[in-house]
Amino acid sequence: MLLLYAFFVVFFGVCLYLLVRLLWARRVPAAAKARPMVSILVPARNEAANIERCLQALAALNYPVDKLEILIGDDHSTDDTAAIVERFIKDKPQFRLVRIGAPVGKAKGKSNAIAQLSRQATADYFLLTDADMAMAPDWVQYMLGAADIDNGGRVGVVTGSTTAEGGLFGRLQGLDWLFGLSVIRILSDAGLPVTAVGNNMLVTRAAYNSIGGYETLAFQITEDLQLFACIVQAGWGYRNLWHRHVLGVSVPQPTVKCLLEQRKRWMRGTTRLPWYLSGLFGMYGLFYTVLFCPPFISWPFTPLVFGLKVLLQVLFLWGSLRQVGRREKLWVLLVYEFYLAGMSLLVIGYTLMPGHINWKERRYVWAEV
């Protein structure tokens, strides 16, 4: 019984620590003064429904056009992705469509597309995003600022901020992004490297080449986590940013089935996360298991503990939203608690079911990725 009470003491202590760090210990990013050449790499496979939105945002970047090289990698799409790109970029010299060829080295899937795009890139700074993302206008200069290019720092990888939008289902997915990436940013600011997200990141050419590129790495389906870990292990610095100037807005997964496919892929990556992040998320996932243990189901203990958890979570989400210049209705923040509990159970069940990891109409075996 004492251990169960100790769980809640630790749980709420950690929640309060994260909330304080979020609200009062934030590092505000600064834009780089220099304007070097940058290569933006966008792997795209069957993104006809989303790619033009991504291209429009990239075309509207507040960065000198003659310093931009935007490479769109058509990764064997079976829809109209390539045709849409060709039509959009015909009068925009900063864009180039690259047809992704056969795998190079050990790379497969998205990591192969990035490996081939990096070989075509000419700049010393790679900015990576996905075809379903719309980036903030000042994205480039603030990511470069975090890479400390004005002072010749050894930052090798920078991660920006990501959320999603749309209807209620999409907004709840956006809160998922906000919640997870805010925690990762807080840990990173405390000197604990965690991960990067491949839809919003900067990698220097020097850092990428120092690890040999994706073609020399054993294939992993969570290629962004792998790249981050290898670069940090090679001695390069890292930054995780949380600010409106580096915000990318993703198109949400349209259905629960699609979301479960995405999360099953992510769950493969969680087996490679540092123990401190796995421990945090594991403790969060155990909350209801402990709360509804028979000794704790009582009035008013159970509703009070539940209410405190929801209150701290709403405050954390509110602070995260404010820092990236966004707002959300209170009732949506409250509904997120039930979405989170339900999706957690569904994701665990779906991940434990035998079967392949399906992503972008490609199938992968769990043990091989």
pLDDT digits (tens, 9 = 90+) for 24-46: 866 778 999 999 999 999 999 99
Q: Do 44 and 131 fall within a single domain?
A: yes
Whichever domain contains 211, its CATH number is 3.90.550.10
Tell me the C-alpha distance between 271 and 134, whole Å: 29
Q: Do 278 and 257 fall within a single domain?
A: no
| Residues paired with residue 197 on neighbouring β-strands, in sequence order | none
CA angle 139, 140, 142 (to 5 degrees): 70
The beta strands (E) that lie in 130-199 are given as: 133-135, 155-159, 161-164
CA proximity to 46, closest of 94, 121, 100? 100
Q: Do 112 and 199 fall within a single domain?
A: yes
Residue 367 reports pLDDT greater than 60 = no
Q: Do 338 and 247 fall within a single domain?
A: no
Q: Which long-range contacts (CB under 8 A, 24 or more apart) does 305-309 make?
A: 305/8, 308/12, 309/11, 309/12, 309/15, 309/337
Q: How far apart are the first and last CA of the chain?
A: 41
The residue with greater pLDDT, 315 or 27, is 315
Domain containing 198 equals 38-263
Q: Are 164 and 177 in contact (CB under 8 A)?
A: yes
The per-residue pLDDT for range 87-96, each reduced to its tens digit, is 999 999 999 9
β 237-240/200-204 pair status? unpaired
Q: Do 208 and 297 fall within a single domain?
A: no
Share of the chain above pLDDT 70, in %: 97
Question: What is the total residue count of the chain?
Answer: 369
Position 275 scores a pLDDT of 84
Position 302 scores a pLDDT of 83
Residue 196 reports pLDDT greater than 70 = yes
DSSP secondary structure string for all residues of 317-348: HHHHHHHTT----HHHHHHHHHHHHHHHHHHH
Structural domain count of the chain? 2
Q: Do 6 and 123 fall within a single domain?
A: no
Range name among 58-67, 94-103, 115-124, 348-357 with the lowest pLDDT average: 348-357
Is there a cis peptide before residue 43, judged by omega within 30 degrees of 0?
no
- E strand or H helix at 120, and its extent? helix 109-120
CA proximity to 63, closest of 97, 96, 39? 39
Residue 157 reports pLDDT greater than 60 = yes
Q: Do 315 and 251 fall within a single domain?
A: no
Q: Do 294 and 250 fall within a single domain?
A: no
Range name among 106-115, 154-163, 231-240, 268-277 with the lowest pLDDT average: 268-277
Residue 253 reports pLDDT greater than 60 = yes
Domain annotation covers residue 111: yes
CB neighbour list of residue 212: distance below 8 Å, 6 or more residues apart: none
Which of 242, 263, 284 is at the close of a domain? 263
pTM of the model: 0.93
- The arithmetic mean of pLDDT across residues 300-316, rounded, is 92
Which of 206, 240, 263 is at the close of a domain? 263
The per-residue pLDDT for range 177-193, each reduced to its tens digit, is 999 999 999 999 989 99
Position 186 scores a pLDDT of 93
| Residues paired with residue 358 on neighbouring β-strands, in sequence order | 363
Q: Do 279 and 245 fall within a single domain?
A: no
Q: Are 124 and 205 in contact (CB under 8 A)?
A: yes
Q: Do 188 and 66 fall within a single domain?
A: yes
Tell me the C-alpha distance between 268 and 271, whole Å: 6
Position 368 scores a pLDDT of 65
